[in-house]
Amino acid sequence: MMERTRKIERSQRYKTRVSAKEVSKTGCAQSISAENYKQRLSHRRCGPLRVLHPVAVRNLFLLASLAQLVLLMLTCGALRAQEYSFRYLGVADGLDNLAVQQIYQDPVGFIWVSTENGIFRYDGDRFEAFGPDQGIPLTSGAAFGDAPDGSLLVGGNFGLYRLVGVHFEKLQVPFKAVSWGQGIQSDGKGHTFIGTDSGLVKLFSEPGNKQFVVQKFLQVPGTSGPSVSGVLVDGEVVWYGCGRELCRMDGNGTRIFGRDSGLPDRALLEIRKDGNGDLWVRAQNKGMFVLPHGQIKFREPDLPAAFSATGVPAVDADGRMLLPSPDGSEEHTSELQSLRHLV
C-alpha cells in the first residue's frame, strides 16, 4: 500500500515538471497541473500573431497620436520632467473617425479634433461631432485658432468660420482657403495671423465695428508664390511658410530663408519652436528640418528611419519636441541630441 502511494506521488511530481517544461518552451499554456505554475504564468497571454492591413496600422498610429497629444494637453500642469501618462480615446468615447489630423485646446478648455471626416469637440467625458447641423461643412482637414476676441476660429479649404455659442458662422473674408496644417495663430494681444491661399492675413478688432478688420500682407519679393502655409507667432516675430520658402517678419522687415539656408524646395506646413530656441519646420513630403538657436542655416536632424514625414509635430509643456512615428511618438531633447520613445 505504501509503495503504491509513493508511485502516485512520483507520478504527480513528474506531471508538474513536464507541465512546467512545456510552459517554458512554448511561452504559454492552456492549462497547467500545478497550481503555483498557474499563478506564475497567469499574466501571460496566448494567441497567434496577426499581420495587420496597412490601413489598420495607419489608423492605430493616428489613434496613438491622438491619445498622446490629448493627454499631454489635459495633464500638462501635473506632468513632471520625463514623466507621461496616457489614456486612449476612440469610438467608445464618441470619436467616430480615428484618422486624426489636428488637435487644439480652446481657452475654455474644450479639445477640438480635426479628422478626415469632420471635426469633434471633447468635453473631458465624450466627443461631440460638429458638422452641417452646427453650421460648418464636413471636411477632411481643418485648422483651429483663437479669434481677436478669444472665440474659436476654424479654417480650411471651405473658408473661415467662427464659433458663436454652439453654432458656427462663416466670415466674409478676401480669401478662399486657410492652410489646415498650422494656418491660424494668435499673438494673445488681439491679433490673429492666418495663412491663406492668397497670402498672410491679420485679423483684429476696432471699437464700434462688429466685424473683424482684415489686413492683408503683400507677397514678399523673392518668394515663389503668394500662398502661405504654416504660421508661428513668436513674441514680436511672425514666422510663416511663404510659397516654398520660410519668411521671418518683425518690426524691421521680412527675411527669407530658402535653399541657401538649408531648406528644401517644398511648402513648409508646420513651424514649431522648442524650449531651447531651436526652430523646427516640416516640409511637405520631406520631413523635419531644424535651425539650431544662434545659427543661420537649417539642417536635417538625426531621426530614426521610422519617423513619419507626414505626422504633425508638437511641443510639450517642458518645451520638448514630440515627433510622430508609425508606432508611437518620439521625444527630442536638444541638450542630449537624442530621441526617447514614448509609446
Contact 243, 256 (CB under 8 A): no
Look at residue 303 in the predicted model and tell me its pLDDT: 76
Instruction: DSSP letter for 319, please.
Output: S
Look at residue 75 in the predicted model and tell me its pLDDT: 47
Mean pLDDT of each 10-residue bin along the chain, 343 residues long: 50 44 38 40 40 47 52 46 73 89 92 93 95 94 95 96 96 94 94 97 92 96 96 97 97 96 95 95 92 95 67 83 64 40 40
Least Cα distance to 289 among 340, 226, 230, 234 occurs for: 230
Look at residue 40 in the predicted model and tell me its pLDDT: 41
The Cα 231–Cα 252 span in angstroms is 19
All cell numbers assigned to 219: 507677397
The Cα 182–Cα 195 span in angstroms is 8
Look at residue 327 in the predicted model and tell me its pLDDT: 54
Indicate the residue type of 326. Answer: P
All cell numbers assigned to 304: 530614426
Q: What DSSP element (H or E) covers 234?
A: strand 228-234
Residue the block writes with cell 516640416: 282
Q: What DSSP element (H or E) covers 212?
A: none
3-class SS at 178? strand
Contact 257, 246 (CB under 8 A): yes
3-state helix, strand, coil in the chain (%, to 5): 20, 35, 50
Neighbours of 278 (CB within 10 A): 19
Neighbours of 10 (CB within 10 A): 10
Look at residue 318 in the predicted model and tell me its pLDDT: 85
Look at residue 9 in the predicted model and tell me its pLDDT: 52
Contact 273, 285 (CB under 8 A): no
Look at residue 307 in the predicted model and tell me its pLDDT: 62
